[in-house]
Chain A
Amino acid sequence: MSDLPGDLLYTKDHEWLRREEDGSVTIGITDHAQSSLGDLVYVELPEVGQDVDDGGEMAVVESVKAASDVYAPIAGNIAAINEDLADNPEAINSDPYGDGWIVRLTPSDGVDESALMTPDDYQQFIDELDD
C-alpha cells in the first residue's frame, strides 16, 4: 500500500498537485512512482520563469535503473524549483509529498480538477495497474 495524502490531486503520470493559498500549485511524484523507480540519483529541473504547456516535459527523475520525464499536469509558469534535490535527490524516495516536491507552478489557465484524480480515484487507478 502506498501512502496517499487526502488533500492532494493526482495524475495518471503518477504526479501529485497541491493547491497553495497564493494560487500556485506544488507538484511532485507519488509514493507509488518513487517506489517503482527505485533509488533516485538525479533530478533535472526546469528554469524558474520558464513557461510549460499542459502535458509538456518539465523535469526528469533518474534512478539507478531508469530515467522518467515529469510532465506538467497543467499549463503554467515555473514559480519555484526544489534546488535541494540537486544534492539530495533521495528526498523524493524518503518524503515524496514533503521535502521531495519538485516544482511550483503558477497556473496560466487555472486548475481543471475534472482532469485530475482524487486520492480514491488514484488508489483505484494504481490498484488496476497492479492487477
Chain B
Amino acid sequence: MPFIPHTEKDTREMLQTIGADSIADLFDEIPAELMIEHLPHVPEALSEMEVSRLMRQRAKMDGSPMCFIGAGAYEHHIPTAVWDIATRGEFYSAYTPYQAEASQGTLQTIYEYQTMITELTGLDVSNASLYDGASALAEASLMTVRINRRVKTGRILLAPGVNPVYEQVAAAIAGAQGLTFERLPQDAASGNIDFESLPDGREPAAVVVQLPSFVGTLDDVDRLTDWAHAQGALVIGVVNPTSLAILRPPGQWGEEGADIAIGEGQPLGVPMSSGGPYFGFMTCKQKHVRQMPGRIVGRTTDLDGNPGFALTLQAREQHIRRSKATSNICTNQGLMVTAATIYMSLLGHEGLVSVANTSHANTARLADGLTAIDGVERMYGGPFFHEVALKLDRPVAPILKALADRDILGGFDLTPIIAADALLVCATETKTAADIESYVDAFADVMANGT
C-alpha cells in the first residue's frame, strides 16, 4: 500500500473544514514562551546530494573491520534476496497500515512471521513484533504483573545472565509503574544461577531467564522454570532466535514451559547498523493472549468463503481500550519483520540449524585458539552457544584498542559489568577459518608485544 502525502489542496480543505486558517493555528494553545523557533544544535537542512556525500564520508570512517563482537546484536550473512524483496514498493513501509484489512499482503506476511516465531519459541501466540528486545522485556514484565494479579509486589527477579542493558531499559519503562527488578544470585564458577541460595518466599510476579546468558553461558532453564512456577511466578524467557534452531525452545522449559518468550529479532536478517532499527519479538501461552501488548494478525474466512487476514483481539489495544489498553504500543516494526520473515523462509529449518551449528563451531574454534595464548583462559566452565567470556591477565581496553588499529573489533569488554578483566567474543557463520586464525594471531601478537 503506497504512502500518499497530503497535497496543498488537501491541507487547505482540512483546515477549512475545522475552521482554522493555517497549520500554525493548530498549535495556538501552546504558550508562546514554550515555542522554539530555532533549535541551535540542529543544523540547517541539506539537499539530497549534500546528505549523500556526508553519509558516504561518515561510512568511510567506519572502515570495514572484522567483527567479533556479539553482546546482543549479531553479524549474520543476509541473503541478498532478503532486502531485495523487503524493499519492493508493496512491502517498503515501516508501518502497519491503518486501514489494515485493505493490505492483505502485509497482513499475510505478519501472520507468517507470527507462525514462524511461535514455532521457534515453542509457544502458542506471537504478536506482530515490538520495538526491540530490551523494550520487549519491559512489556513482558508489565504483562506478567497484569496476569499475576494475586501477586501485589510488582517484583521481577532476573537471572544473573539477563542482558544488563535490558534491565536498564525495563526499569526505565516499567519502574514508574511500580515494578522493581532484582537479580538472582550468581555462581561465580559457572556464571549461572546459584541454585543453592535462591530466595524463597519473595513473591515475584515473574522470573526472567536468558538463554544463552549475556556472558554466553547456558543456565539450567528447566530447573529455574520449575522453581519460578513453584514460587507462584510466571517465567519470561529471553532468547536468541538463532540459538532456538538447536536449543530447546522456551515453551518446553521445565514441567510447564516458560509463559512468555521475548528477544531481539535482529539476528534474523536485520543488518547491524549503529544500534538499529531492530525489532523485538514476543510470544506467549494462549491463556495469556489478552494481556499481550501489540498487534496480532489472525486468519479468517471472508463472506465468500475465501481465506483472509485481519487484525484480531483489538479490544486490548489503545484505540479501543483507551487508558485501559494493555500497552500504548499499537504498532510494530513492520519492515524489519518483513525482512525476518523472508530471511526465515529462505533459510528454512535446515538453514537456520546450519547457521547455529556453524556459529557454535566457529566460536569454539576461536575460544580454543585464544585460550592457547598465555594469559587467556575461559572465564566460566560449561557449554556455550556462539559467544564465550575470556578472562585476561591484564586490562582489556588497551588490547581492544590495539586490535582495532589492526581493523579487528575484538569483542565486548565485560570489565565494567562483571568487575573482572574479561572479554566476550563471538564468531558467527560469517567468519572463515582464516579469519579466526588471523584474529588469534593478532591477539597473540598484541598480548606478546603490546601493540
Residues of A within 8 A of B (CB): 41-42, 44, 47, 60, 62-67, 69
Contact = CB atoms under 8 A, between A and B. Distances in A.
Contact of B290 (A44, A63, A66, A69): A44
Given A42-B290, A44-B290, A47-B150, A66 B324 contact: no
Given A42-B290, A44-B290, A60-B324, A66 B315 contact: yes
A62 B316 CA distance: 9
Contacts of A47: 149-150
Contacts of B349: none
Contacts of B149: 47
A52 B68 CA distance: 57
B203 to A, nearest CB: 15
- In this complex, the interface size class of chain B, counting residues with CB under 8 Å from chain A, is under 10
Contacts of B290: 42, 44, 62
Contacts of A66: 315, 320
B299 interface: no
Nearest to A69: B324
Contacts of B321: 67
A42 B320 CA distance: 15
Given A60-B324, A64-B315, A67-B316, 13 more contacts: A42-B290, A42-B315, A44-B290, A47-B150, A62-B315, A63-B315, A65-B315, A65-B320, A66-B320, A67-B315, A67-B320, A67-B321, A69-B324
Q: Is the interface of B mostly helix, strand, loop or mixed?
A: helix
A114 to B, nearest CB: 30
A69 to B, nearest CB: 7
12 contacts: A42-B290, A42-B315, A44-B290, A60-B324, A64-B315, A65-B315, A65-B320, A66-B320, A67-B316, A67-B320, A67-B324, A69-B324
Contacts of A69: 324
A66 B290 CA distance: 13
Contacts of A64: 315
Ordered nearest first, which 6 A-B pairs have the shortest CB separation?
A67-B315, A62-B315, A67-B321, A66-B320, A42-B290, A67-B320
Interface centre among B150, B315, B320 (most CB of A within 10 A): B315
B274 to A, nearest CB: 40
A102 to B, nearest CB: 17
Contacts of A65: 315, 320
B4 to A, nearest CB: 28
Nearest to B149: A47
A11 to B, nearest CB: 20
A67 B290 CA distance: 12
B316 to A, nearest CB: 8
